[in-house]
Amino acid sequence: MTAQTSATAPKLVAYEDAVRRYDPVLGIEVHVELGTLTKMFCAAEVAYGGEPNTQVTPVSLGLPGALPVVNGKAVEYAIRIGLALNCSISENCRFARKNYFYPDVPKNFQTSQYDEPIAFDGWIDIELDDGEVFRVEIERAHMEEDAGKNTHVGGLTGRIQGAEYSLVDYNRAGIPLVEIVTRPIEGAGERAPEVARAYVQTLRDIFRSLDVSEARMERGNVRADVNLSLRPTPESPLGTRTETKNVNSFRSIERSVRYEVSRQAGVLDAGHTVIQETRHFHEEDGTTSSGRVKSDAEDYRYFPEPDLVPVAPSREWVEEIRATLPEMPVARRRRLQTDWGYADAEMRDVVNAGAIDLIEATVAAGTSAAGARKWWMGELARRAKQDEIMLEDLVVTPAQIAQLQGLVESGRINDKIARQVLEGVLAGEGDPEAVVVSRDLEIVSDDGPLLAAIDDALAAQPDIVEKVRGGNQGPVGAIIGAVMKATKGQADAKRVRELVLDRIGS
């Protein structure tokens, strides 16, 4: 009787094959929990990990008679996000009620924004792994409140099916959220999984740089719903989409998109139609499974929230907020690349290595951009890789690297010695200056001890001295090498050569 349900799932199509024959189109909804002190519509505290149902008021419990009041800080944060996403900010917008019955929604409606979002018509540039910049258009960013949290007890794997009973914690109910909705993301092609991941990653970076949220994926501060549809060619009309809910790590976003591309290609190849539905992603095996069927006819009976007056941010206020916005990550990278004169490939490596802040600080401490890159992307990158840690977790500061490079540039040590100095710094022996002193590594510049060492070397190899005197300067390196060895590399090789030739010639 339910023959149209996809009980017999068509075969998955290999990803590479799927994207050769179908054009994927993404649409991403990201919810971010704002880091306000209190909830969206009441004074209940917002804090992670409290005892269940302790961070509540009559408002966030939906008690009879309680009324909402808009949190001004949440509006400010929403505007910050909107501006950072190059959106227009509404001059007058209302909240709306989204009506549906579910126990984690205390009023049985969610106070949200419907046709009047606070921010709309924006865009954001994201940078892919190879440095390519991809523009994602933002349809809207609107304010709403979070739901409570259901815990199903007694069933398998915490799911509602088979549970004996369920508990509801309303601590999360009413926490302010901003939901950011993209326009259909077209043109990503085979890079759709990477685009989806990079987009959410960029948003996460933006939320943090705006200081509007801790934006911790693992705590659910940032949650992504990923819509995906396939069509035969980029010119074809949009296909039927599925919405994979609550994909909560960057890796999962990438995997879920890959999987949906393969799955939908299989459905289409088999001559079926994709069912418009929400799907759940499974971390264990990287698959998605059918949730509830979502038709456009689902009726939330939206209407303007009569308990709230419209939000009407003055233009002056919006401009004040705009003036305090920090530089966005992609813009900053572009500026730094220009300042530093790095090639595209160099800059990409720096970004991927997580070295951008470290290099910026090293340059700020007086080192040339090339010098800073030499250390962080060279010896230090090698050390980090060897120890399997992040660059930023090495026990060396940008100031110390700047000092180290300064010692090299002033000729007090050479590059080879500098690596030994770095060893000392990483071993916790103090700043480079201190290590040079304590390890006695300074280049010897007094000719006295050098001449003694040269005379010893000349006396030890009279045959070479003869050859050089005969006009063949080739073997002189052996003498220099012996001198360098005798001085433990602290001698200036150029000076040694001058002195050796001088000695032999006299």
Beta-carbon neighbour count of residue 43 at 10 Å? 12
Cβ 142 vs Cβ 118: under 8 Å: yes
The stretch among 29-37, 120-128, 263-271, 297-305 that binds other proteins (CB under 8 A) is 297-305
Give the largest Cα separation in the chain, rounded: 108
Q: Show the site string, 127-166: x = touches other proteins by CB under 8 A, - = not.
A: ---------------------------------------x
Least CB distance to other proteins at residue 291 (A): 16
Nearer to other proteins by C-beta: 51 or 463?
51
Q: Does 313 help bind other proteins (rule: CB under 8 A)?
A: no
DSSP conformation letters of 350-390 = HHHTT-HHHHHHHHHTT--HHHHHHIIIIIHHHHHHHHT--
The stretch among 61-69, 263-271, 351-359, 459-467 that binds other proteins (CB under 8 A) is 61-69
Q: Look at residues 328, 42, 325, 30 and name the one whose alpha carbon lies nearest to residue 177.
A: 30
Q: Does 276 help bind other proteins (rule: CB under 8 A)?
A: no
Q: Does 325 help bind other proteins (rule: CB under 8 A)?
A: no
How many Cα atoms sit within 13 Å of 399 on the Cβ side? 3
Q: Does 292 help bind other proteins (rule: CB under 8 A)?
A: no
- The rounded distance, in Å, linking the Cα atoms of 119 and 122 is 8
The backbone torsions φ and ψ at residue 486, rounded to the nearest 5 degrees and listed phi first, read: -65, -30
Least CB distance to other proteins at residue 245 (A): 20
Nearer to other proteins by C-beta: 103 or 411?
103
The stretch among 58-66, 74-82, 174-182, 282-290 that binds other proteins (CB under 8 A) is 58-66
- The rounded distance, in Å, linking the Cα atoms of 81 and 210 is 7
Nearer to other proteins by C-beta: 58 or 430?
58
Q: Look at residues 232, 230, 228, 274 and name the one whose alpha carbon lies nearest to residue 255.
A: 228
The stretch among 136-144, 191-199, 302-310, 380-388 that binds other proteins (CB under 8 A) is 302-310
Q: Look at residues 209, 210, 243 and name the one whose alpha carbon lies nearest to residue 225.
A: 243
Look up tokens 């190059």; give the residue: 86
Q: Look at residues 226, 197, 183, 186 and name the one whose alpha carbon lies nearest to residue 127.
A: 197
Question: Applying CB under 8 A, what is the total number of residues that bind other proteins?
Answer: 31
The stretch among 67-75, 174-182, 184-192, 343-351 that binds other proteins (CB under 8 A) is 67-75
Tokens linked to 82: 């909107």
DSSP conformation letters of 209-226 = HHTS----GGGTSEEEEE
- Give ∠ CA 272-276-103 in degrees, rounded to 5: 145
- Site residues for other proteins, 194-223, by CB under 8 A, read none
Least CB distance to other proteins at residue 37 (A): 17
Least CB distance to other proteins at residue 107 (A): 5
* Of 61, 478, 484, 493, the one binding other proteins by CB under 8 A: 61
Beta-carbon neighbour count of residue 159 at 10 Å? 10
Q: Does 275 help bind other proteins (rule: CB under 8 A)?
A: no
Q: Does 448 help bind other proteins (rule: CB under 8 A)?
A: no
Cβ 413 vs Cβ 436: under 8 Å: yes
The single-letter DSSP state of residue 96 is: E
The stretch among 64-72, 250-258, 261-269, 498-506 that binds other proteins (CB under 8 A) is 64-72
Nearer to other proteins by C-beta: 238 or 309?
309
- The rounded distance, in Å, linking the Cα atoms of 91 and 135 is 26
Q: Does 238 help bind other proteins (rule: CB under 8 A)?
A: no
Nearer to other proteins by C-beta: 53 or 414?
53
Q: Does 308 help bind other proteins (rule: CB under 8 A)?
A: yes
Q: Does 67 help bind other proteins (rule: CB under 8 A)?
A: yes
Nearer to other proteins by C-beta: 108 or 236?
108
- Site residues for other proteins, 85-124, by CB under 8 A, read 97, 99, 101-103, 106-109
Q: Does 312 help bind other proteins (rule: CB under 8 A)?
A: no
Q: Which residues bind other proteins (CB under 8 A)?
A: 58, 61-70, 97, 99, 101-103, 106-109, 166, 168, 297, 299, 301-303, 306-309
